[in-house]
Amino acid sequence: MTMYAKPIPKINEDSRPFWGGCKVHELRFQKCNQCGHVRWPPAIICPECHGKDTVWITAAGHGRVYTYVVYHIAYHPGFKGELPYVVAVVELHEGPRIFTNIIGCSTEEVYCDMAVEVVWDDVTTELTLPKFRPVK
């Protein structure tokens, strides 16, 4: 594995298909075959109807900034070189809300409800992170 100075996600059996999708630049989520709810984080049952019949779908990668914060202090040494940076919750068109970073613009340009699209950060040979940039 390539050296990477920041914390990395803990991948488990539930989330492995999501991270495997990221590796091939696909944003994958579980969709309930009983009620149609698209969920995040992955789980063995649907939080809406408790159904267990699930399929993995690939999201288009478009959404809006639901909320965000600008970090001016590095709480982990790996982030010192990136200050200031944006941590956001992006609501995808398919429904799930995921934590991510907004990149490709200044921190002052980010606002709630801003249209964004996924971009892929291949941080190691093993791990790719989904990040988002403004839709121009």
Least distance from Zn ion to the Cβ atom of residue 50, Å? 7
Least distance from Zn ion to the Cβ atom of residue 41, Å? 15
Stretch that binds Zn ion, among 5-13, 25-33, 53-61, 92-100 (CB under 5 A): 25-33
User: Which C-beta is closer to Zn ion: that of 30 or that of 128?
Assistant: 30
- Contact string (CB under 5 A) for Zn ion, positions 26-65, x = contact: ------x-xx-x--------x-xx-x--------------
Sign of the four-CA dihedral 26, 30, 32, 38: negative
CB contact at 8 A, 54 and 84: no
Rounded to whole angstroms, how far apart are CA atoms 14 and 101? 23
User: What percent of the chain is helix, strand and coil (3-state, nearest 5)?
Assistant: 10, 40, 50
